[in-house]
Amino acid sequence: MTKTGVVNQPTVSVYKNLLSNHSNTLVCPCSTILIQYQDFISSFTHTFNQICSSDFVSEEWLNYINYRPLNNVKYQHPYDFRYSGYSFFTVLKILCALVSQTIDDQLIQLQTTTLFSESVQPDNIIQANAEAIREQFVNTTSNSFSAALNTIRTVLQGNQIVNRLKTNYQLATPSTYKTVQQLSHTTEYSSVNDSCMCSLSSYCKATTGIYNTSAYIPSCKYDHTPPCNSIIDGEIEFDVPGISVGCLVLDAVLQSDLSCFYNESCLSELKFQLTDSPSPFNATPLKVGSSGASLPTIGDLIANLMVEEWYFNSSYESYFDQCNPQTCTYTYVKQFDIVYVITNTIAFIGGIATILMLITLPIVTNIRQWLSARRSSAHVYLDKNDVRGFGPLIFQTLSSFCDLSLKTIENELSIFNSTKYVTKNVYLQDSFQSQSEQIVALFIQRTINTFLLTLSVVRGASTSNQLYSGPLTNWMFTTTDLLLPQFYYNDTANPSRYCSCKIDPTTCGALAGVYGYMGTPLTILNFRIGCYVIETTFSSTFECFYNQTCFNSFNKLIYSNSYARFNATPMIWSQNTSRYLPTTKIQTIIEQLMIERWNDEISFESYFNECNPNKCVYTYNKQVDVIYIITTIVGLIGGLTTVLQILISALVAYARRKKRPVNLTPTQTG
């Protein structure tokens, strides 16, 4: 017979004792089934990399290297540490602050997240769950921060935002202008050599240093060959290793390792070169690690949130107190084998079947080659809406979004694959399939929403702050004095209306084309030039590149004047392979992460093997058969016969004693 035991108001020690003896049948319902993580995670702290607490992110250091107030021409060389150092370390300080704030915000969110616990879980399950929480938190936070940073870099690069340090663009004026000069466009500035152009790559870099600059020309004429290299006039006196100059300050910081600041002699030499600083400061060098490994770049450190080590502790006793079971019940006979298996159960194989990038990336690469005619030595002036001048930026932006989409998906898949799936018993296959499909759908929607949120914030920041775009698509310059240029908004002719980049920077634009030929210029079907490169890209379609006639006309004009000729072929559209029509805006495609179709494979067999149940227990009702009836009746008759024999024998004996005559013997008295 199966019996049930009940223990009221169990303590942790009582529960553990019951668990050791009745692990398969013990059930202790929780009084509180939703338990916040902060109630049983006793501590979750971290140690930042020394850079974020060093002198080099202090206000004293920033004041020390801030040569801007001096306004001396000898400090104006783009590669000079005295010119770029303040911006470099300001960005480094901001990154440290952003990482710290991100971790704090995520920790607050983690603490208020709840654990569903219908009944008390064993210690090992809670500890495994806590460890899974730690891993998922670190992976989610670092990947989310990296994804946001990559989006920011992509938007800044795509919109060709001009750096005031003149490391990605230089102002250029036509040599024929005398009194009134119009700064009609900027010329790309190569931070390494002519093969690395900031208009096409954000990874151009050079080492900074201290330059002996006798003269500095603040602008150049765009008929110079190569463009703008004549501005660099000065000899380097001291290299500052580990500090890069890049197209944008953020790019430079991420590619630097600060090696000079680990070396006391190098830092001393730098201090010697900065003796004329307006705010002297004696900084302490960074400490070199004992491992002897090469120094990581700031980008490598950022990928790990600038954290050296995480410290995590959880308390089972605190969990038990929050669960607060009032009773524990168990049976003496083992009927159920409760196996807690925490594992990854969803085989999210592939994740991506056909990414649009596979179609567009070869075309992007090829068209960028043909559109390189604007870099030829002839320096032919092109109309502002001419795709030969603007096209490479658009296709470079497309290529960047292909990479960004792929990285975003890889990051989210990394988080997804590290998530633990807690299951008390083996689920039925239908239930498992339904739950898994919901998990996959939630993953896809969350990935897209996270990407769109970051993208919309960065796009909004660019347009609302009216940041100046290098190709002069939203601002124009006019000046009679190169030192005092005047700005005005670029007004773009729209086929249906007249618009201004000041009022509607996200929608203002005109059709792109090939201009400067005899006859009517060729306009490209639904390909637009807007206020920013990204807005231009988003408002355009690939319609011309699917249309054989349009593409042939475009290809003919480009091919005849291309600097690097390439015979490209149009893309082929089929409703069987693409869910996007040729008329679909590029924005719609990018907002779907450029995914054609998600492929997921849910395997119940893999889940069952990972769960690995020790045994299955079941109950069933068995119908009574003839043999059972006969044996039961025989047993009953036999039992009754025995009982009656004993009972009747006793009654007969008793009756006989009652009927036996009593013999009286007279007694004589005297």
Please state which of the ranges 371-385, 405-419, 501-515 shows the lowest mean pLDDT: 371-385
Q: Which one has a higher pLDDT value, 169 or 238?
A: 238
Q: How many C-alpha atoms does 209 have within 13 Å on its Cβ side?
A: 13
- Give CA 214 to chain center in angstroms: 47
Which residues, in sequence order, are CB contacts of 464 under 8 Å at separation 6+? none
Weakest-pLDDT range from 58-72, 189-203, 304-318, 565-579: 189-203
Average pLDDT over residues 13-20: 92
Local confidence band at 159 (pLDDT 50, 70, 90 cut-offs): confident
- DSSP string of 271-338, one letter each residue: HHHTTT-SS---PPPPPPPTT-PPPPPHHHHHHTTTEEEEEEEE-HHHHHHHH--SEEEEESS-----
Q: In the predicted model, what is the mean pLDDT of the chain? A: 76
**Contact indicator for 204, 190 with CB cutoff of 8 Å:** yes
- Note whether 185 and 247 are same-domain residues: yes
Please give the DSSP secondary-structure letter assigned to residue 178: -
Query: Per the structure, how many domains does the chain have?
Result: 2
Tell how far CA 565 is from the center of its chain: 38
The better pLDDT of the pair 384, 9 is held by: 9
**In Å, what is the CA distance from 306 to each residue of 48, 138, 576?**
6, 12, 46
pLDDT attached to residue 80: 87
Q: Are 295 and 259 in contact (CB under 8 A)?
A: yes
Q: Do 219 and 357 fall into the same domain?
A: no
Same-domain pairing of 299 and 345: no
pLDDT for position 227: 42
User: According to the model, what pLDDT value does residue 624 have?
Assistant: 62
**528 found inside a domain:** yes
Q: 372 is in which domain, residue-wise?
A: 341-631
pLDDT of residue 292: 65
The verdict on residue 645 lying in a domain is no
Report pTM: 0.63
Regarding whether 395 and 247 lie in a shared domain, the answer is: no
Bridging pattern class, strands 498-500 and 491-493 = antiparallel
Does 365 lie in the same domain as 321? Answer: no
Residue range 410-456, pLDDT digits in tens: 888 877 887 777 777 788 888 888 888 888 888 888 888 888 877 87
Distance CA 146, CA 98 (A): 12
pLDDT band at 610; cut points 50, 70, 90: confident
- Range from 2-6, 20-24, 53-57 that averages highest in pLDDT: 53-57
Whether residues 362 and 499 fall in one domain: yes
User: Among candidates 514, 516, 232, 227, which has minimal Cα distance to 378?
Assistant: 227
**Residue 226 phi, psi (nearest 5):** -75, 165
**Does the structure show a pLDDT above 60 at 188?**
no
475 and 433, same structural domain? yes
Q: What is the DSSP string of 416-464?
A: HHH--EEESSPPPHHHHHHHHHHHHHHHHHHHHHHHHHHHHHHHHHHHH
- Residues with Cβ within 8 Å of 482's Cβ and at least 6 positions away in sequence, in order, are 171, 173, 181, 218, 219
Tokens 């919901």 found at: 438
Helix or strand holding residue 493 (H, E): strand 491-493
* 8-state DSSP, 479: B
Q: Contact at 8 Å (CB) between 218 and 479?
A: no
Residues 403 and 284 in one domain: no
Domain C-terminal end among 335, 350, 376: 335
Residues 320 and 350 occupy one common structural domain: no
Least confident of 106-110, 249-253, 381-385: 381-385
Q: Is residue 652 part of a domain?
A: no
The structure tokens listed for 536 are: 């231009």
Average pLDDT for residues 358-362, to the nearest whole number? 45
- 436 with 311, same domain: the answer is no
Residue 308 lies in a domain: yes
Which of the given ranges, 130-139, 194-203, 207-216, has the highest pLDDT on average? Answer: 130-139
| Domain contains 648 | no
My answer on whether 316 and 348 are in the same domain is no
Which of 52-56, 223-227, 556-560, 654-658 has the highest mean predicted lDDT (pLDDT)? Answer: 52-56
Q: What value does the mean pLDDT take over residues 331-359?
A: 38
Last residue of a domain, one of 284, 305, 335: 335
In-domain check, residue 597: yes
In a domain, 578, yes or no: yes
Looking at the fold, whether 311 and 352 belong to one and the same domain comes out as: no
What is the predicted pLDDT for the residue at 525? 76
Q: What is the mean pLDDT of residues 538-563?
A: 79
Residue 41: strand pairing partners: 314
pLDDT surpassing 90 at residue 404: no
Query: In this structure, is residue 427 part of a structural domain?
Result: yes
Mark which of 315, 335, 355 sits at the end of a domain: 335
> What is the per-residue pLDDT for 172?
58
